[in-house]
Amino acid sequence: MSNDLGLSFHATAGWFSAVKRPSYVFVSVTNAHAAALPTALGMAIRRCYISDDRVNIQAIQYPPATQVIAAALPDPGSVMSGEFGEILTYFYQGATALPKAAVGLRRWHLKQDRNKAAPYSDVVHLVLPNWPTSSAMDTVLCSEVKAKSTKSKFEPIKNAIEGCETDRTSRLAGTLVWLRERAITGATEGASVAQLNRFIKLAGLPPTVKKFQAVAVVCDSLVTEEAAKAPATASPDYEVVVISVPKLKATYEAAYTAAMNAVPSAVATAKITNTK
């Protein structure tokens, strides 16, 4: 579940209509859902970068709250586009685990530079159906995400597949260790140190499952051309997913505008309390 974002995977599963093609999965977001995404995702996007509590605390010293939020969010451009694609994939990937509960590992709030991409694997969930008991059904889901919102020579499917190969061979392992270290310091949200260790320290425990996806989030006006570049045959090692979003550039910009204005209701209360 993703309750600390204000959205659950059950609530967002209906955004995505998936059709299995011979070599990839085609996922479409309807015009109606795309129009609703900025409002639906605004608060969740802001919480991916900075929590309600942190906004509340910092806004007392550096008002208004939107100034605090702006210091955490990327400016319009390629990083914003890419991270919107990652956050959209976060909800798609979490929904694919249903009815099992997936623990999302969100790394956007750990960025050192708001206008540079977050490090390590893009989207990671842990599925632990019998937790705290380990089982052979324990699964890590990992997606490499590339977004394309405007016409260019960039090939999101090809680049997502290349990144997915890096995840498979080395990067996912490094991501889990990095997140465990951040969890030890109390910096992460979501998975506990024990849950991360389940996929790091395997000695004496049942083997785990790893599932990889190469995801291209593409504007619907470009998706036919881009989907034609998908591999001719499916890979046994990963799944290619193409997510079509109507008016992707306008959608992600509106979503981040909503995130900028997603001020916690407790800000005003915190100010009053601070003056007493």
Q: Are 126 and 165 in contact (CB under 8 A)?
A: no
pLDDT of residue 265: 82
pLDDT of residue 1: 41
pLDDT of residue 267: 54
User: What does the alpha-carbon distance between residue 224 and residue 209 come to, in Å, rounded to a whole number?
Assistant: 33
pLDDT of residue 266: 66
Q: Are 240 and 161 in contact (CB under 8 A)?
A: yes
User: What does the alpha-carbon distance between residue 87 and residue 106 come to, in Å, rounded to a whole number?
Assistant: 9
List of the chain residues with pLDDT < 50: 1-2, 268-276
pLDDT of residue 274: 43
pLDDT of residue 4: 84
Burial zone of 65 (CB within 10 Å; 0-12 exposed, 13-18 middle, 19+ buried): buried
Query: In DSSP terms, which residues pair with 17 in a beta bridge?
Result: 28
**Which residues, in sequence order, are CB contacts of 113 under 8 Å at separation 6+?**
none
Domain spans in the chain, listed from the N-terminal domain onward: 3-10+18-275
Q: Report the predicted TM-score, pTM, of the whole model to 2 decimal places.
A: 0.94
pLDDT of residue 205: 95
